[in-house]
Amino acid sequence: MYTAEKLVRKFSDSKTLPHVALKVGELVKNENSTMHDFEETIAMDPILVTRLLRLVNSPFFGLANKVEKISKAVVFVGMKNLRNLVAVDAIRDLFTESDPTQGFSRSALWLHSATIATLTDMIGKRIFGDSREDLFLAGILHDIGLIAEDQVTGDLLRKACDVYKPGGKSLIQSENEIIGTDHCKVGAVLAKEWNMPEDVLKAIRQHHEQEKSFPIGSVTSIIQLAEFIAGKMKFSAIPGKADPLPPYLVKHVKGMMSNYKIIVRDLPDEIAKAKDLFDPEGSTLDNG
């Protein structure tokens, strides 16, 4: 049986965020950081420079003129957006399928995470008028604990996924019984190690707490709304299994149903626009 801390220690022995990603996170937290600091850090990774320039010139940003210098890309994207882009680039490889099996799939989890990141951004901006970059970051990282569990516990995670029954035994309950911890606790420990913002850490830890109520419009509640919509659209973390909407959010969604229907309608186009962000090799998101 594992504690979250023990599992993360074993995971970190073999997998960790690249130095550049950790450094960018530190720069974002330091209010004295300059754009030049970010430019120097990004320039340490030539592959990341290439990907960033490609992304800035993709439909995701929709620029009229092509950006060819990393300095201009950094200025255009901004510090927090840059942190998010680097985080996506850094964790994408962790989702590479090593031994795909029925019940749990890293590629399906990456599609789910990309969908949640897109939805949190859309819900934040369109429903709550909130354009915080932390929403996107929380969305892409919310299930990172599942990757650590898969790396360290393998078959135990798959057993927990099999036992999990929406409307009955939750995934969190199954994980705690079989593994000794759950992906929310594990993800929160990882997020703290990676120096992620407090709101992101809380959302990772709390997003499966259906019995509690969180402030509507908080990062946690927006993640829960995104999880529900993704499940309805068959983009669940565990294929074929999705939890209901937490009770405290039901009235909110009913009162804004027309707005949420528009988000559902627009989601495929938004994911397509972000394809170069989530899937620069042009393969992973085709599985949906």
Helices (H), the chain: 4-14, 19-29, 35-42, 46-56, 70-77, 79-92, 106-128, 133-141, 144-153, 155-163, 171-178, 183-193, 198-206, 219-232, 247-255, 257-273, 275-278
pLDDT of residue 287: 47
pLDDT surpassing 60 at residue 213: yes
Separation of alpha carbons 148 and 100, rounded Å: 15
Tell me the CB-side half-sphere exposure of residue 144, using CA atoms within 13 A. 35
Phi, psi of 238 (to 5 degrees): -110, 110
Return mean pLDDT, the chain: 89
Determine the pLDDT at residue 98.
58
What does DSSP assign to residue 100?
-
Residue 138 is assigned to a structural domain of this protein: yes
List the Cα angle 38/76/41 in 5-degree steps. 15
pLDDT of residue 230: 97
Look at residue 192 and tell me if it is in a domain: yes
Which two structure tokens, joined as six digits, stand for 288?
Answer: 């949906």
For residue 223, the model assigns a pLDDT of 98
- Give tens-digit pLDDT for 98-108: 555 556 888 89
What pLDDT shows up at residue 278? 85
Task: Tell how far CA 14 is from the center of its chain.
Answer: 21
The answer to whether residue 68 sits within a structural domain is no
User: Which range, of 11-20, 128-137, 176-185, 260-269, averages the lowest pLDDT?
Assistant: 11-20
> Which region among 75-84, 139-148, 171-180 has the lowest average model confidence (pLDDT)?
75-84
261: CATH: 1.10.3210.10
Residue 288's pLDDT band (boundaries 50, 70, 90)? Answer: very low
Q: Is residue 57 in some structural domain?
A: no
- As a three-state string, the secondary structure of 104-127 is ECHHHHHHHHHHHHHHHHHHHHHH
CA distances from 263 to 130, 229, 244, 267 (A): 15, 9, 18, 6
Of residues 46 and 284, the one with the higher pLDDT is: 46
Instruction: Give Dmax over CA atoms of the chain in angstroms.
Output: 55
Domain count for the chain: 1
- Tell me the three state secondary structure of residue 241: strand
> Dihedral angle at the C-alpha atoms of 99, 103, 104, 109, nearest 10 degrees?
130
Task: Confirm whether 102 is domain-assigned.
Answer: yes
pLDDT at 155 over 50: yes
Residue 21 belongs to some domain of the structure: no
**Residue 234: domain span:** 4-16+97-287
| Average pLDDT rounded to a whole number, residues 23-36 | 86
Q: Is residue 29 part of a domain?
A: no
pTM of the model: 0.86
How far apart CA 272 and CA 265 sit, in angstroms, is 13
Q: Is the pLDDT of residue 151 over 80?
A: yes
Any idea which residue has 């516990």 for tokens?
153
The predicted-structure confidence for 105-144, as pLDDT tens digits, reads as follows: 888 999 999 999 999 999 999 999 999 889 999 999 999 9
Q: Residue 76: pLDDT above 90?
A: no
Q: What is the pLDDT of residue 102?
A: 57
- Give the C-alpha separation, 173 to 194, whole Å: 26
Q: Which residue has the higher pLDDT, 246 or 15?
A: 246
* Proportion of the chain above pLDDT 70, given as a percent: 93
For 156-174, give one letter per residue: b (16+ CB within 10 A) or e. bbbbbbebbeeeeebbbbb
* In a domain? residue 120: yes
